[in-house]
Amino acid sequence: MPHDAHSSSGELMQGPPTHGWRALLDRVRRHPMGLLRRAVAKRIIGPMRYGRGADYDARRYWDDRLAKYGASLRGAGHEGLSERENAELNHAAADVLLRELRRAGLDLPQCAVLDIGPGNGFATALMRRAGVRSYLGLDISSTLFERLQQDFPSYHFQCADICEQKVNGRFDLILMLDVLEHIVDESRLSNALANARSALKPAGVLAVALPMADGSPRAFFYLRLWDLNEIFSRLPGFAMDTAVPWRDGQLLIARTAGSSDS
């Protein structure tokens, strides 16, 4: 896929990047036992502890995972990568996100921003760097809220499940970065996107980042790789402005069809 793939008609471009497989093989070569332990935990132990599908207890899973890793980037990032490797991915992803939001015509200091799934504060720090003054971080787990509130005292954080609760307020920009793949049930995905749509201002922008589906609908009990048609079929009236490479997937910039990018 070209680096900048624009689609005003909503045509969706797909195909998983090959560098994801190379990275996986490299991790197997470097840390075979660690990869085996994580596979056992995610294939056997995790489903027994947290459930599967519609019975999956996402809040409990993320409470436990974020408590385990604390401030480490591996908590909300990639568990199979080192701190340095996660930081490098975040640095590259930050540059892509800011560039595409500015291309979308957003004056970020004037935007009200809703960040769904702030995790350890990757996008939170990025929004502060961009001059955003009005920010709400909505997360299913409050485990890291005390630290986030200390680091970002002018920002607000709320513990809520976007799959179950509507959000008070309307926003110019909604971020769902590496969030949707952690919703493993179709009805919950529909609810999450409906609740996000209802919180977006008429000319607002929705930024979604997710890994690409590779033909297997679910990798682990806590992870489901949706394809782009499954996402956009739940966003009626939206058109995709931009789709660009993001980590092992794509960053999508979408807005309601016919809205201005001024």
pLDDT for the residue 17: 43
Domain ranges of the chain: 5-21+50-256
pLDDT in tens, 123-169: 999 999 999 999 999 999 999 999 999 999 999 999 999 999 999 99
Query: Looking at 24-38, 70-84, 218-232, which range is the least confident one?
Result: 24-38
Residue with tokens 């049930």: 185
Kindly indicate the confidence band of residue 86, based on its pLDDT and cuts at 50, 70 and 90.
Answer: very high
- Number of Cβ within a 10 Å radius of residue 232: 19
Reply yes or no on whether the pLDDT at 218 is more than 60: no
Q: Is residue 219 within 8 Å of residue 225, measured between CB atoms?
A: yes
39-47 average pLDDT score: 75
82-96 average pLDDT score: 94
Reply yes or no on whether the pLDDT at 8 is more than 70: no
Q: What is the mean pLDDT of the chain?
A: 85
The domain over range 5-21+50-256 is classified in CATH as 3.40.50.150: yes
Q: Shortest CA distance to 103 belongs to which of 232, 210, 201, 242?
A: 242
pLDDT for the residue 19: 43
Kindly indicate the confidence band of residue 256, based on its pLDDT and cuts at 50, 70 and 90.
Answer: confident
Q: Shortest CA distance to 165 belongs to which of 203, 124, 210, 114?
A: 114
pTM: 0.84
Handedness of CA 138, 139, 145, 151 (dihedral sign): negative
pLDDT for the residue 26: 58
Reply yes or no on whether the pLDDT at 5 is more than 50: no
